[in-house]
Amino acid sequence: MIDDLYHLRERARASLAAGNLDDAANALVAAAEQTHVAEHDYVSVLRPLLDVLVRRQDFRSALTVQWYLAWGEPDGWRRASSLLTHVPPVDRARTLAAMNDMAAAAREMENAGLVAAAAIYREKSEDWQGARALWSRLSQVAGAGADAYNSALVQFNLARCAKHCKDTRQAREATVASVRLLEEAADHFESVGQRERAFDCFQVLVQIGRESSRFEDVLEGFVNCIRILREDNLKYFALQYYEDALKAAKEKGEFSAAATLAREAAEYARTIGMPASSSHYTVVQADLWREVARQHIDRGAPAEIAENAVLAAILAFGEVGQFSRVGKLYEELAGMDLEAARKKHYHRAAQRYDTVRDEAIDAAPLPSHLRQDNHFPDVWHIDLIEWEQRGSGAEACADVLLSKVWPDLIRRKALLARLTAFAVEGRDDGSPAVIGARVRLAQQLAQLQLYAVLSPLEALFARPERATKIAVLSAMQTLFFKRSFITVRAGLRDGDPGVVDQAAKAVESLYFQHAFDPLSRIVRESSRPDVRAAALKALAKVDTIEAAEFLLGVLEHGAPADRAACVEGLTRSRGARFLELAKAQLHGSAPDVQVALRKILNARGLAA
């Protein structure tokens, strides 16, 4: 590989000496495609490429190369700034932002007509009045359905800036508008099967509630996030969100809501086979009900209300065998200002627990090794940037290239994809050369393996060329995000059989834990046996109880072709959940289903 790089570099040097700038540029770009080489070798290609691009007056491409080089050069950003007079405002803005001149970057983004990006740079420069004016401009653009989501984010940003500007009335009005639009958008996304987008809506709702001190919004957001996570079988994430919701409720003194959440968390942990976590949340629930009782007493509420809370704590402690605590709570009830008969009853009950000890229980929160990063990104900025970029691969790649978050390998691939994007974006040319560049761009975007490339790929898929559509669907096979199914399902509806075939291949490749919902939808909705077969084979590799039960249902009630696809997929799968279900259901199943189950179990090396 290094030999090829040196050969291409020498070829470029010879072409440059002969005055053939195009051939020199092509050779150096080909060398730059060897993205796995050491940094000093890679830089040895980019520096002459930069020189060639400047000589060709391809200043946007030259600046793109300099962006990569700038982080490692003492005067790298000074060199980048020397190119700014030759590039459009959006590139000037990005360069100035990288140099930490956010105010100047905001002005350039506004000149480019990118109001959301300009507002975000204003925020970063703490120009809250300027940012508020820009968000206010964007807020005039209202929409329904998916557009309601972007409108909601704009309103949320307007509320944030108004709060910084101490405009309480505008902050309140924008917050109310944002909540209404988020609820509308969430309903729309769930109705079209895009629950991950609805999840984003509810996460923003949590943040709105936190910033506006409206606990009802925080609670609504958390409850719906947990619901979606549970439906997608993301059990550890769901438990983490239960814990986050519990923490938020306790911080606000909303102990009754917290106790209810703890009870639900305990029940959920029990259903997913985590008894220690279930016991932990049950104990937490009991302690919270005691807090509820104290809260009522401190507020001077009728004793009967506090009594109900203590009884709920007794039930919870009794459920996990904490009987001495139960006895103490009965004593508390006997000392309350209640009817004499009830007080005597509680006193007698307390005496029954005098000599009873607590049972030893295994109670622990979600173990640290099962916890996952559930940090929520600032989608109120990120998603608006995506919306404003309108599927531009060049701009999406610029975001990656200029971020220190990504390793050099990813930034190199983003650089190459951006150079390709310059050749095709904004052109309606259907020539073979341009179509070939679009195909190459789809392939390069896929190599980034980032969520950020989905929007540019969706824009490419909207192109009419068959080759471009097939390239995009091939790229989707490697992008394991639920959003990938939006494009894949569009491919399944295409009028070109070749596009549908490639979409079916993508379906079979997209198996991951939270793909159950889109895959099962395809099985239910598609009229093509080959498409249903692809989805069923993918589901066979999704090792969850939901997928196992769905596949068993197909074996029991599905069409012969669907049953055959299930058997084929399950005999090749490595998951254990279906095997457990098959062994449990084997003898109670219909004869033909027993035959299928035995075939699967035998193929997996299990006696049936």
pLDDT in tens, 131-185: 999 999 999 875 555 689 999 999 999 999 999 999 999 999 999 999 999 999 9
**Separation of CA 278 from chain center:** 27
Residues 6+ apart with CB under 8 A from 5: 31, 34, 37, 41, 45
Q: Residue 257 corresponds to which amino acid?
A: A
**Separation of CA 517 from chain center:** 15
Binned at pLDDT 50, 70 and 90, residue 6 comes out as confident
Residues 6+ apart with CB under 8 A from 460: 391, 393, 438, 441, 442, 468, 471, 472
Token reading at 225: 């996030």
pLDDT at 542: 92
The stretch 439-468 carries a mean pLDDT of 97
pLDDT at 336: 92
pLDDT at 607: 66
> Per mean pLDDT, which range of 268-277, 343-352, 358-367, 542-551 is the poorest?
358-367
Residue with the two structure tokens 């390709």: 420
Q: What are phi and psi of 405, to 5 degrees?
A: -65, -35
pLDDT at 1: 58
Q: What is the pLDDT of residues 282-329, one digit of tens each?
A: 999 999 999 999 999 999 999 999 999 999 999 999 999 999 999 999
Residues 6+ apart with CB under 8 A from 157: 119, 123, 131, 135, 380, 381, 384
The stretch 104-126 carries a mean pLDDT of 97
DSSP string, 167-213: -HHHHHHHHHHHHHHHHHHHHHHHHTT-HHHHHHHHHHHHHHHHHHT
Cα distance between residue 269 and residue 227, in whole Å: 14
pLDDT at 3: 62
Q: Identify which has the larger pLDDT, 266 or 144.
A: 266
- pLDDT higher than threshold 90 for residue 575: no
> Reduced to 3 states, what is the DSSP secondary structure of residue 505?
helix
Cα distance between residue 399 and residue 390, in whole Å: 14
* Exposed / middle / buried, residue 99 (Cβ in 10 Å: 0-12, 13-18, 19+): middle
The stretch 503-522 carries a mean pLDDT of 92
Q: Which of 40, 44, 9, 47 has its CA nearest to residue 26?
A: 9
Polymer length in residues for the chain: 608
Binned at pLDDT 50, 70 and 90, residue 243 comes out as very high
Binned at pLDDT 50, 70 and 90, residue 366 comes out as confident
- pLDDT higher than threshold 90 for residue 379: no
Binned at pLDDT 50, 70 and 90, residue 374 comes out as low
The stretch 233-240 carries a mean pLDDT of 86
Q: What is the pLDDT of residues 327-347, one digit of tens each?
A: 999 999 999 989 999 999 999
Residue with the two structure tokens 């940012």: 131
**Separation of CA 561 from chain center:** 34
Binned at pLDDT 50, 70 and 90, residue 363 comes out as confident
- pLDDT higher than threshold 70 for residue 487: yes
- pLDDT higher than threshold 90 for residue 216: yes
What are the C-alpha distances in Å from 432 to residues 341, 438, 494, 594?
Answer: 91, 10, 22, 55
Q: Identify which has the larger pLDDT, 430 or 569.
A: 569
> What percentage of the chain exceeds 70 in pLDDT?
97
pLDDT at 375: 64
- pLDDT higher than threshold 90 for residue 606: no
> What percentage of the chain exceeds 90 in pLDDT?
82
Residues 6+ apart with CB under 8 A from 575: 540, 541, 542, 543, 548
Contact 416, 444 (CB under 8 A): yes
Contact 518, 487 (CB under 8 A): no
pLDDT at 422: 96
The stretch 251-258 carries a mean pLDDT of 95
pLDDT at 317: 94
Which domains, from first to last, does the chain contain? 2-87 (1.25.40.10), 511-608 (1.25.40)
What's the whole-number average pLDDT of the chain?
A: 93
Contact 180, 159 (CB under 8 A): no
pLDDT at 473: 98
pLDDT at 587: 87
Contact 570, 540 (CB under 8 A): yes
**Separation of CA 386 from chain center:** 14
pTM of the predicted protein model: 0.86
- pLDDT higher than threshold 90 for residue 73: no
